[in-house]
Chain A
Amino acid sequence: MAADVTPAPLPRSTSADRRQPKPPRGNFELYAWVFMRISGVLLVLLVLGHFGIMHVIDGGLDRINFAFVSGRWANPFWRVYDFAMLTLALLHGGNGLRVIIDDYARTGTRRLLYQSVNAIVVGLTWALGTLTIFAFTPQPT
């Protein structure tokens, strides 16, 4: 007899559930999760190397000026290094902020607003940074 008992339907979502993120979209969240771990390992190496060279060894910030950057970016290796770091850092940070916004945005409208601002600022920063690295012309000073 117990087998005939139908479970009560699950409560339908109400306006109180607005803080729940959108339903899953394919495997996107899985790929994002994997990306955070791969880019995270790469960024540890890239960022700690960058910080060590620019801020710690050999006087750090003392020797940073236009001439110093000219010398570094005369070598394509450092342009590729900086471009990789810029791209990975913005995707890693932008995705991290996307997850945080999904957790805390109180309404769908606000979520859309915050996510749009996040995407636009990340995109513009990437464009400006990429331009800075590759449009740069080293000048002897």
Chain B
Amino acid sequence: MQRLGTLYRGREGMWTWVLHRVSGVAILFYLFAHVVDQALLNVSPEAYDRVIDTYRNPFVGLLEIGLAVVVIFHALNGLRIILFDFWSQGVARQRQMLWVQTVLFLVLAIPPVVAIGAHVVEEL
């Protein structure tokens, strides 16, 4: 017998909800670290430049690509949630919105993946 499941649980609506939470927490924790490293600007120019120099390697490059992908997902998914809540067609069109979101995600991910990916390759 085919399992139909419920309206919500276990379907794409639940998984985007989970990913929205996980990506949100990841971005917030990144932000804490990011504010601390930028605080070195007021320690000394040398301290700041020394720490930024440690970011110029393929491993941090991959993390940077990961950050871009996570931020783009969270941004587009958030916009879809807003349309779902406020647009009169939001509920009826939610399946189509998820497809549009997926296409926009792939398009927006290209520039950072190509630009940062080029750094990763040349630093190898």
Contacts and interface: CB of A to CB of B under 8 A. Distances in A.
Interface of A: 37, 40-41, 43-44, 47-48, 51-52, 55-57, 60-62, 64-67, 69, 86, 89-90, 93-94, 96-97, 100, 121, 125, 128-129, 131-132, 135-136, 139, 141
Contact of B31 (A57, A65, A93, A135): A93
B28 A51 contact: no
A51 B24 CA distance: 16
Give 8 closest A-B pairs by Cβ, nearest first.
A93-B28, A66-B45, A129-B35, A44-B75, A40-B78, A56-B115, A96-B24, A66-B48
B115 to A, nearest CB: 5
Contact of A132 (B42, B64, B79): B42
A33 B60 CA distance: 35
Nearest to B21: A100
Given A56-B68, A65-B48, A66-B49, 13 more contacts: A48-B72, A52-B111, A60-B115, A62-B56, A66-B41, A86-B35, A96-B21, A97-B24, A100-B21, A125-B31, A129-B35, A129-B39, A132-B41
Given A93-B28, A128-B39, A37 B45 contact: no
Contacts, number: 96
Contact of A37 (B32, B41, B85): B85
A40 B81 CA distance: 10
A135 B49 contact: no
A56 B25 CA distance: 23
Contact of B119 (A61, A125, A128, A131): A61
B55 A100 contact: no
B24 A65 contact: no
B103 interface: no
B79 A55 contact: no
14 contacts: A37-B82, A37-B85, A40-B78, A51-B68, A56-B112, A65-B48, A94-B28, A96-B21, A96-B25, A100-B25, A121-B32, A125-B32, A128-B35, A129-B35
